[in-house]
Amino acid sequence: MCGIIGIASSKPVSINIINSLKKLEYRGYDSAGIATLKDQLINERKCSGRVDELEKILLKSPSDGNIGIGHVRWATHGIPNLINAHPHSSENVSVVHNGIIENSDELKKILEDKGSKFKSQTDTEVITLLITEALKNMEPLDAVFKTLKDLKGSFALGIIFKDFPDIIIGARRGSPLAVGYSSNENYLGSDSYALKSMTNKISYLDDGETCVLTKNSISFFDVKKNKINKKVHIVSDDENISDKGNYKNFMSKEIFEQPITAKKCVNEYIDSLKKDINILNFPIRPKELKKIVLVGCGTAYHSCLVAKYWFEELSSIEVEIDIASEFRYRKIKFDPKNLYIFVSQSGETADTAAALDICKKNKVKTCSVVNVIESTIARNSDWVLPIHAGPEIGVASTKAFLGQLIVLYILCLKISSVRGDINKSNYNKNIENLKKLPDAIKKTLTLETNIQLMAKEFLNARGSMFLGRGSSFPIALEGALKLKELSYLHAEGYPAGEMKHGPLALIEEGLPVIVIAPKDKYFEKTLSNMQEVIARGGKIFFITDNKKDSISENIRFGLRVPHLDNFLSSILLAVPLQMLAYHVALLKNCDIDKPRNLAKSVTVE
C-alpha cells in the first residue's frame, strides 16, 4: 500500500527519488519522506501530506547524496504525522518499509529493556533499531539477515547505512519489491511503474529474498543467504500514467476510457476470422473440471460474484466464491479437479496472494485474472488471463472492474463451449454481442448530464441503498462501494428480494434508493420490491436496459442503458453507478483519485 524507491547512482539522486514518489502517489498515502547519504551523514527529510510538500522542503533544505531511499506512507501503526513518516533513521541506519511487523510490540519491549529509545509510534522503527544493534558486531548484510529472522509479518524493505555509503539493501517477505538496472545507476522499488521512467529492465524479488544494490551491481540472496541469479524482465512501455489529458482527474479519464478498454480486451481474446475465443492452454481440461473457485477482495470480489451467476447459467460446473481474507483462514477441502481463479487489479493484493500461495502449497491448479502481468499473483499462477485495461491510477477501480468482468465472461463462454454446455448458435450470438459492447458503453457514457442531476439529490441524504436481483445484485454492491469510497456517504447494497427481511426498516421519506433492473427474468419481481420502497417514502433512482416504458411518475430519476443481452447488462449497468459516485464526490469536493484512508494496491493484511 505504501511506496518505496531506492537509487544507487554516480550522481545526486534526490530529484529522481521525488519524481519516482510522484509516480507512486496513486497507491494512496498520507505522508512522505526521503533519506540520502553524503559525507557519512544520513540526511532525512519528511512531511505529513503530499509529495509536493516534501518537494518544497527539499527546495529550502536540500538532501544531497548519490544514494538514497524514499517513501510514501499509508498509515498502519501510528497516526499520519511527521514523526511517523518514513524513513525511520538512527545515527547509523535508515529504513523504509511496506507491510506490517506483527510482533513489533514484543520486539519494542526487548529493545527498550536494552536501552533503545523510540521516537515514533510505528512498527518500522523496530527494524531500524534491530539493525542498528546488530551492526555493532557484524557487516550490513549479516545484520539485516539477523534482523529478518526476528520479524513476523509482511514487509518490503529499503535500507541504507551511514558507514557503508555505497549500498542499498532490499528485502522482501509478502510485500512486493523490484529492482531496476541501468548504467552507473540501479534502482529499488515497490512498483515497476515507479521504475519504468528510468529503466525497462527489471527483476522481481520472491518471498524471502534479499538484494544488495550499488551503482554498478545488483546481487541477490535467498532466505539462507546463498547467492542466486534472477531473471531480467523487459517491461512494456505503457501509456503515460501521469497524464490526465483534458480530464479533471484520473478517475473521470478512466471511466471514459472504458469503451477503449472493452474493445482492446475483446480484440485480445476473440479471433474475428475464426469467430472463436482464443483462450488456450487450460491448466485443467474443461471437460474434467469439477468446480471453479473464484477468489478476490473488494471490487474484484464483486466481479467474482457476477461471474458466479454467468458460470451457473451457461455451464454445468459447480461454482464457489470466496473473499480472499476469509479463504486463507478457512479449512479448505482442496481438490485437484478444481480450478482456483484469483482476481486482482494490481496482482499484489496481500490477502489474494496469500490465498494463492495456500493453493500452490496444496498442489491445485490456479489461474489469475490481473491487470499487471509482471505482478506477484501473475508470476505465481499456473495460468494468467490479463484484462488489458492499461494503468489504472484512481484508487476506486472502474476500467479494471470492467476488464475483470469481460475476461471472466469470455472465460465462462469458452469453458461452456468446450464442455458442450452451450450450443454453437448461442455461443456465436454471445460473441457477436460482446463485439457490440464497446459502442454500448460509449452510448451509456452519454447519460452523464442526467447523472449529474441525480448526484445533487445525494448531498443532503443520510445514506442510500442499492438494490438488484441476480447478477445485478453484485452490481448493487459495487455501486454502493463506489459511493462509499469516493463520497464518504453511507451506502448499502442488497438483493432486492431481501428487503422484507430487515433492510426495509431503513427506508424513510426521501432516502435515495437505486434500483438496478435489467429486462431479465427478475424484472417484474424487482419492480414489486421497488413499489415496497415507494410505499414507504423512498426516493427511487431507476436504472434499466428495458426498451419499453417502465419509468413511471413515482420514480425520481430514470436512466436507460442500451440492451445487448441478459449477460452483458451487468457490465453496462455498472457504468452509470461509477459516474454517480464520481459526481457526488465532485460536488462534495472530495479527493476523488485518492480517497481518504484508502490505497490502490492493498499489500497488507
**Which of 308, 414, 484, 600 is the catalytic position?**
600
CA separation for the pair 380, 50 (Å, rounded) = 34
CA-CA distance, 153 to 173, in Å (whole number)?
8
Strands 291-296 and 318-323: parallel
Please tell me whether residue 476 adopts helix, strand or coil conformation.
helix
Task: To the nearest 10°, report the CA torsion of 456, 460, 463, 467.
Answer: -30
All three cell numbers of 67, joined, read: 544514494
Structural contact between residues 355 and 296, judged by C-beta atoms closer than 8 angstroms: no
Residues belonging to the chain: 605
Buried b (16+ CB within 10 A) or exposed e, 7-18: bbbeebbbebbb
Question: What are the two backbone dihedrals, phi and then psi, of residue 292, each rounded to the nearest 5 degrees?
Answer: -110, 130
Q: Do 262 and 402 meet the contact criterion of CB atoms below 8 Å apart?
A: yes
Give the count of beta carbons closer than 10 Å to the beta carbon of residue 227: 9
- The residues, ordered by sequence, that sit 6+ positions from 80 with a Cβ below 8 Å of its Cβ are 30, 31, 48, 73
Q: Which cell numbers in the block locate residue 288? A: 474434467
The type of residue at 272 is S
Annotation marks residue 2 as catalytic = yes
Distance from C-alpha of 411 to C-alpha of 341, rounded to nearest angstrom: 11
Name the active-site residue from 2, 297, 367, 590. 2
- Chain-centre distance for alpha carbon 379: 16
Sheet holding 67-73, edge to edge: 41-48, 31-38, 67-73, 3-9, 185-189, 178-182, 201-204, 233-234
Q: How many CB atoms lie within 10 A of CB 260?
A: 15
The residue written with cell numbers 529492465 in the block is 201
Handedness of CA 448, 450, 455, 458 (dihedral sign): negative
Phi and psi torsions of 417, nearest 5°: -70, -45
State which amino acid sits at residue 202: I
In this structure, are residues 582 and 486 in contact, taking their beta carbons and an 8 Å threshold? yes
Q: What one-character DSSP code corresponds to residue 273?
A: T
| Residue closest to 561 by CA, chosen among 550, 545, 576 | 545
- Any idea which residues carry the catalytic annotation? 2, 600
